[in-house]
Structure 1
C-alpha cells in the first residue's frame, strides 16, 4: 500500500460519558465516510481529564460501553481505530489505556500509558496521574495492512527512547492520543511531535481533545499530522473537528534511503534495548 488517508476526531469532552461515546461514534463514521482508513481519537475521550475522576469513569474490557462502541464503530466503518485513551480497570488498578481495533472489530492491541504525568507547571497547573493510575509496562506496536503501528499516550512522546524502540520494531506510523494543556501546548506541541517524526523518519499523528475553556483541565487542541521529514501535513484548530490527511508511506523509505539515520547509528558505542516482556498490557 502506497498511502493511506488518516483522520483525527478532535471532539469536545464533557462530563456525560454517554454523550462523549455518541459524539465519538458519529465522528468516526464521518471520518470513514470521507475515506479515512485509520482513525484516531483523543486522550481520555470518554471522560474529563482530571485524575480524581478516572476511577469513576473506568471500564473493564470487554464489557464496558466504550469498548463496545469502539469495536462496533471499527467494524461498521471498516477502519483501523486507535480508540484514543480511556480509564481501564484491571482488578484493583486503573490505567490510561489506548485500545486499537481492526476493520473487523477485533482488538489488535492495547497500550497502557508508560510515563505518568506527575507535574507542577508554571501558572499553577498541577497534575498527579499516579494518584489514581498505574503505569503500563510495555512498548506497543500492532500489525496493520499498511505496516506496524506504534501507539503512545501524551507524556510518552517526551521520551525518545520509547519512540525509537517502536521504530526499531518496524513502526511506520506512531499515533499519540494527547491532552497537552495551555502551558505545555503552546511551548512544545509542534516541537515534540515534529522531532519524534524527524528522529525516527516516520509519520506521527497526535490527537487532542477540543479546547473547552470552562473545563477543569483545558486542552490545547491543534491535533496534528507530521511526515517523516518533519513537515506538518495537517493541523486542526482548537475547536471540535475531524482532521484528515494523506500519509504517503513510500516517503518513509525515500527519506530513510537519502538520510540513513538508522544505518548510521553507532551501536558499537551505544545500544538501546527493550527489557524482558512484563505480562499484562497486550491482548
Structure 2
C-alpha cells in the first residue's frame, strides 16, 4: 500500500492553503497513493490572534475542509487532513479529519494535549488561551489499516498511543507544526519510540520552513515502520513524499516482540 505525506508551509490565507492541499490530493492520487496525510493546521497558521480570528469559522462553514473533501471525492483518494482550527462557540478546536474517497468525513479528532510553554528562544505559546482540549481518542478503519489519530504535542504522551494500540490501531498519524528547537532535539526519537512501543507504522506530516506569521517550523515529515526504522524523511523542503507500507511487516514485528500481548495493568506505586 502506498501512502503520501504532504510537507507544507501554511500561511495566513486559508484559500491559498486550500489550493495547495487540493493540488496535493490530486498529485497523490496520480502517483498511486491510497491515502494522503497533511500537517497540523493545514488551513491556517497565524499567531496573530486577532487576524486569525477573522478566518476561523465553524466546521460547516470551513472553505478549506470543503475544498479538500471535494478534491478527495474527485480523485477517489482518502485524506487525513492533519488539523484545522475550527470555531465552537467562544472557543476553538484543533481538529483533524479523516475523509474517504467519496468526500465523506469518516472521523474527527480534537487535540487532547495543548501546548503551553515559554521557550529559551523567547518564543511563548499558549494554546489553551484560545483552544479547548479534546476528550476522546479515535481509531478509524482506512485503506491502510486501523488508523489512530493524534496531533503534534500529543506525541509526548505515550499513554495515548498505548490506548490507541490497545484499541487495535495499526498506523498512527502524528501531524505536526513542531518548533525548530524541540524538533531538532526530540522529533525523530519520539516518533521512533512511539512506533516501537505501539508496534505500529507512524506517519507524521509536518509543517516546514519560515511562515508568513514569522514562525519557523522544523519540517522532517517522517514515516516510521513498527521496528522503528525510518522509511521516509522529507528533509526541510515543502513537497509531497510517498512511502510503501507492508502490512506483513506489522505481523512480523509484533510476532518477534509480542509486547502488546504482554501488557498488564500498572499496579499502584509503592513509596519506599
RMSD (CA atoms): 1.6
- Residues of 1 paired with 2:261 and 2:48: CA distance? 42
Most deviating of 41-50 and 159-168: 41-50
Q: Which residue of 2 aligns with 1:24?
A: 21
* Local SS of the residue matching 1:177: coil
Establish whether residue 10 from structure 1 lines up as the match of residue 7 from structure 2.
yes
The structural deviation recorded for 1:249 is 1.4
Establish whether residue 182 from structure 1 lines up as the match of residue 180 from structure 2.
yes
Distance 1:180 1:100, change over 3 A: same
Q: Which residue of 2 aligns with 1:278?
A: none
Q: Which runs of 5+ in 2 are unaligned?
A: none
Q: Which residue of 2 aligns with 1:197?
A: 195
- Residues of 1 paired with 2:111 and 2:263: CA distance? 28
Q: Which residue of 1 aligns with 2:41?
A: 44
Most deviating of 75-84 and 200-209: 75-84
* Greater fraction of residues in helix: 2
* Contact 2:208–2:218 (CA under 8 A) maintained in structure 1: yes
Q: Which residue of 2 aligns with 1:238?
A: 236
- Residues of 1 paired with 2:255 and 2:156: CA distance? 26
Distance 1:17 1:214, change over 3 A: closer
- Residues of 2 paired with 1:140 and 1:268: CA distance? 23
TM-score, with structure 1 as normaliser: 0.90
- Residues of 1 paired with 2:99 and 2:65: CA distance? 10
- Residues of 1 paired with 2:156 and 2:42: CA distance? 21
Distance 1:190 1:122, change over 3 A: same
Distance 1:60 1:49, change over 3 A: same
Distance 1:51 1:184, change over 3 A: farther
* Contact 2:34–2:144 (CA under 8 A) maintained in structure 1: no
The structural deviation recorded for 1:62 is 2.4
* Contact 1:51–1:129 (CA under 8 A) maintained in structure 2: no
Q: Which runs of 5+ in 1 are unaligned?
A: 271-283
Return the match for 2:74 from 69, 72, 76: 76
Runs (4+) off by over 4 Å? none
Q: Which residue of 2 aligns with 1:280?
A: none
Q: Which residue of 2 aligns with 1:161?
A: 159
Count of residues paired in the alignment: 267
Q: Which residue of 2 aligns with 1:114?
A: 112
The structural deviation recorded for 1:89 is 1.1
